Amino acid sequence: MRLIPAVHVACIVGLLAACTPSPPTADAPAAQAAAQAEPAQIAWRHGDVDDAFAEAKESGKPVLLYWGAVWCPPCNQLKAGLFKDPAFIALTERYVPVYLDGDEEGAQAWGERFGVRGYPTLIVLDPQQNELTRVAGGNDSAELTRVLTVAAGRRSAVADTLKLALAEPGKLSAEDWQVLGDYGWEVDASRLSGSQDSASLLGELAAAAPQPALQRHFALLALASTDDAQAPATRVRELLQVVLAQPDEVRRNRDLLGYRGAALVKLASTGPASTDALGRQLLAALQRADAARGNRPDDALSRAITEIALARLQQPQGELPAGLTARVRERVQAANAAATSAHERQATLGTAAHALRQAGDDAAAEALLLAELKRSQTPYYYMPELAELAEARGDRTAAVDWLRKAYEGAQGPATRVQWGVLYVEGLLRLAPDDTAAIEAAATRVIAELDQQPAGYHQRTRQRFERLGSQLQAWSSEHAGAPTLARLRERMQQHCPTAAGAAPSRAASTGCTQWLQG
């Protein structure tokens, strides 16, 4: 289904008026004011990927595929900000934009086809479905706009660009190198790297890139992609110090430096003094970058989480400094107060609760989440974390109850499977002797497959595979072979629907092999 944004409707109306003039009426100014007040929107094709590629072949435009979910926090951050930006909306007119929600029919199959790894992901494809680039949607809005502006004019598949970079790097243009540097390696799912280790591939690109800043970008990505980096601490420290001294490079690497910054400082450390000095430099650089984009409360919250991680490097088991704990609470309050729309709250509250938990204030995190249940449009999203909090304090009954409520309240076929698996896993962990409850819950999750024809792909398949492994481990300790046999039989009944009605298709997706062996 194609949606025509209000701005396009206004243009059509204007053209018709020019062709067939009519006398002005008293209501004309009011109508014009209403049309001007109507906000522009991205002309998303909702879920119809085939239609988007058909239009791309007719128009010659690339397809911008956005993969998201209603409950996903960074997806809601995009909806609250970037997707309302008139400049970005205008940019999407150079594309055929298609919005693929993970719960729409066929979405999981498309996600598997394009190698989507997580929400949100934006993929640019030519009309023949060759991938031109992809980016993680949680990145800085200005960076996303810049990347997609370049991608709109691309005609070379990113796989071909990478192949040339590794074989004959001197033949790449500056724009080619820019595309490889902007590529969303964190959501690559081995699409480009294939069987090659991502860290070694990124290391090769770091050595071949022509610009020092790009070399450092690839080197950071290589370090961040593994927990077993072999680079000498002095080399990592030199790299970090140079990057942190360059505001442009900090801005480009802001998210990586935020969520992996403490780990990188640890790799660069030669002792407590160097850890402290480099940690302070990291926080100062992040603060400058965040000031450049408006000192947003959510950025301050992100920095607090990084600061906690740095403090844990110095004292893994000790109490956090009182001043840091107070800053976390203040920033949580500020972010909570600033998030007024539904999209802003969904983007912020999970991070706020996480920050409080990292600071050791589980009670405040629980209070924050309980209050949010009353106003959230997706309360089920917060319930698994409430279950974690209950489990952490030893209340197994409450933990299982939260997981059950989350599953019962979840919306959308793929989401229901994901939350249903969490519920069964909770039973396996917290009530392993309740075989009847485990079998009943697992049977119910299997039946969810009937609600997503051809949906046994990507996240749904991954969740079932994970659940299968845990059921087998549980069975070996709790005499669960008869239960597994019945679950296996029920799965066979639902596989044709889940795989697209063809038995051969069911076999190819792995659905019929579930719980075998």
pLDDT tens-digit map of 243-268: 999 999 999 999 899 999 999 999 99
Q: Tell me, yes or no, whether 31 and 62 share the same domain.
A: no
Q: What is the domain extent for residue 72? A: 42-155
Examine residue 34 and state whether it is found in any structural domain, yes or no: yes
Q: Alpha helix locations (H) across 410-448?
A: 413-430, 435-447
| Mean confidence (pLDDT) of the chain | 88
Q: 63 and 132: one domain?
A: yes
Residues 122, 170 within the same domain: no
Highest-confidence segment of 60-74, 220-234, 309-323: 60-74
Q: What is the CATH number of the domain that holds 126?
A: 3.40.30.10
Same domain, 108 and 127: yes
Structural domain ending residue among the three candidates 199, 223, 247:
223
In a domain, 436, yes or no: yes
Q: Indicate if 66 and 17 belong to the same structural domain.
A: no
Q: Which residues pair with 2 in a beta bridge?
A: 45
Report how far residue 112's alpha carbon sits from residue 218's, in angstroms, rounded to the nearest whole number. Answer: 26
Q: Is residue 137 part of a domain?
A: yes
Cis check: omega of the bond before 120, within 30 degrees of 0: yes
Q: Are residues 123 and 177 in the same domain?
A: no
Is the separation of the CB atoms in 288 and 250 below 8 Å? yes
User: Domain total for the chain?
Assistant: 4
Domain boundary among 203, 223, 243: 223
Q: Measured over all CA atoms, what is the biggest interatomic distance in the chain, rounded to whole angstroms?
A: 84
- pLDDT for the residue 501: 52
Count the neighbouring beta carbons within 10 Å of the beta carbon of residue 321: 13
Considering the domain architecture, whether residues 168 and 150 belong to the same structural domain is answered as no
Backbone angles phi, psi at 125, to 5 degrees: -130, 145
163-211 per-position pLDDT tens digit: 999 999 999 999 999 999 999 988 886 777 777 888 899 999 999 999 9
Mean pLDDT, range 217-224, rounded to an integer: 93
Of 95, 124, 155, the one marking the end of a domain is 155
For residue 28, the number of C-alpha atoms closer than 13 Å in the C-beta half-sphere is 8
Whether residue 358 lies inside any domain: the answer is no
Residues 30 and 87 grouped into a single domain: no
Give domain status of residue 212, yes or no: yes
Q: How far apart are CA 482 and CA 262, in angstroms?
A: 48
Q: Are residues 421 and 490 in the same domain?
A: yes
pLDDT at 20: 34
Same domain, 64 and 34: no
User: In Å, how far are 21, 22, 30 from 25, measured between CA atoms?
Assistant: 12, 9, 10
Tell me, yes or no, whether 242 lies in a domain.
no
pTM score > 0.75 for this model? yes
Asked, for residue 353, whether it belongs to a domain, the answer is no
Same-domain status, 120 and 195: no
Same domain, 204 and 111: no
Q: Which of 164, 186, 167, 185 is nearest to 175 (CA)?
A: 164
Q: Is residue 21 part of a domain?
A: yes
SS (H, E, C) 127-180: CCCCEEEEEECCCCHHHHHHHHHHHCCCCCCHHHHHHHHHHCHHHCCHHHHHHH
Which band of pLDDT confidence, cut at 50, 70 and 90, is reported for residue 505?
low
